[in-house]
Amino acid sequence: MPLLDRLLSPKRAAVMGILNLTPDSFSDGGRFVDPWIALAHAKRMIEEGADIIDIGAESTRPYGGQAPVTAEMEKERLAPVLAGVVALGTPVSIDTMKAEVADWALRQGAAIANDVWGLQRDADMAGVIARHDVPVIVMHNRDKADPAIDIIADIQAFFERSLAIADKAGIRRERIVLDPGIGFGKVPAQSMIAIRELDAFAHFGLPILIGLSRKRFIASVVPSEPHQRLGGSIAANLIAVQAGASIVRTHDVADTLQALRVAEAIRDAS
């Protein structure tokens, strides 16, 4: 059975746990740069119920200021950890915008590619995905936010371009997951609109991943630091799943999974 078919269900959202091997990620930068700590954290997220572990070695936070990371540096950060996490048996996604890193990680056993530029930044990315024939998460992004635009229309147009690139490269449509890119190239209000209006993307007929954990839009409603945004993250995730999200990407696996499962149980109670 294809991986996405195993992971996704119309009755329950899948949970993707975040493992950042970076010194400068917005929420947990520096916490998991030690390989042993990183591996222990991956084990803990799996024990808590994560369906996927998403590993990244370059901060993609949209506020700027992070140091550029070469492909070699990404691989150096990933090398002591990736094989050990893959060996745990839970599908691993590689969070990178570089085709070279994606190709290397997929050859090391990663099962999914997660591209925050939706196949539109690195011209070689689509070809790498097609050759490995793995699922790919196509995320909407913009170089800068524009509060004047219709963000739903912009996301729609971006996805159309990404799907055309995927088709031309030979990526099978059933391998594609869409991600509206909450917090990326959006002002807080646009992020909230994208969450609320997820059903606007249902016509693509593809699974939707939502990645809003601890994001800045929460602080625009209730001032808070990233580690103080669990409640807001859970509230937004529940709304996103109700609006059509199939996968929830989170730093807080246990609490998020509990909230999702209780909401699902209430929905299905008879």
Choosing from 77, 98, 175, 215, the catalytic residue is: 215
Query: pLDDT tens for residues 195-243?
Result: 999 999 999 999 999 999 999 999 999 999 999 999 999 999 999 999 9
Distance, in Å, from the CA atom of 93 to the CA atom of 91, rounded to the nearest integer, reads: 7
**Annotated catalytic, 261?**
no
The yes-or-no verdict on residue 64 having pLDDT over 60 is: no
The yes-or-no verdict on residue 252 having pLDDT over 90 is: yes
Does 1 map to a domain? no
The stretch 42-70 carries a mean pLDDT of 85
The yes-or-no verdict on residue 65 having pLDDT over 60 is: no
Does 270 map to a domain? no
Task: Output the 3-class SS for 55-79.
Answer: EECCCCCCCCCCCCCCHHHHHHHHC
Does 163 map to a domain? yes
In the chain, % of residues over pLDDT 90: 90
pLDDT of residue 60: 77
Confidence tier at 33 by pLDDT (50, 70, 90): confident
Tokens standing for 73?
């540096």
- What mean pLDDT is reported for the chain? 94
Distances (CA, A) of 128 to 8, 22, 109, 132, 178: 24, 24, 14, 6, 18
Q: Structural domain of residue 245, as residue ranges?
A: 13-265
pLDDT of residue 132: 98
Choosing from 75, 216, 229, 249, the catalytic residue is: 249
Stated as kind and residue range, the H or E segment containing 249 is strand 247-250
Q: How far is CA 42 from the centre of its chain?
A: 16
pLDDT of residue 21: 92
Instruction: Determine the residue type at 232.
Output: G
The stretch 34-39 carries a mean pLDDT of 92
pLDDT of residue 79: 95
Instruction: Determine the residue type at 137.
Output: I
pLDDT of residue 213: 97
Tokens standing for 199?
């059903």
Does 4 map to a domain? no
Query: pLDDT tens for residues 141-183?
Result: 999 999 999 999 999 999 999 999 999 999 999 999 999 999 9
pLDDT of residue 31: 65
CB atoms within 10 A of CB 144: 7
DSSP 8-state symbol, 168 = H
Confidence tier at 127 by pLDDT (50, 70, 90): very high
Provide the number of structural domains found in the chain: 1
The yes-or-no verdict on residue 23 having pLDDT over 90 is: no
Q: Which residues contact 170 (CB under 8 A, 6 or more apart)?
A: 130
Distance, in Å, from the CA atom of 43 to the CA atom of 88, rounded to the nearest integer, reads: 7
**Annotated catalytic, 215?**
yes
Query: pLDDT tens for residues 101-121?
Result: 999 999 999 999 999 999 999
Does 7 map to a domain? no
Distance, in Å, from the CA atom of 209 to the CA atom of 140, rounded to the nearest integer, reads: 11
Pair 244, 201: CB distance under 8 Å: yes
The yes-or-no verdict on residue 62 having pLDDT over 70 is: no
DSSP 8-state symbol, 217 = H
Does 3 map to a domain? no
Distance, in Å, from the CA atom of 208 to the CA atom of 129, rounded to the nearest integer, reads: 18
Does 58 map to a domain? yes
246: CATH: 3.20.20.20
Stated as kind and residue range, the H or E segment containing 241 is helix 230-243
Does 2 map to a domain? no
Pair 251, 18: CB distance under 8 Å: yes
pLDDT of residue 26: 47
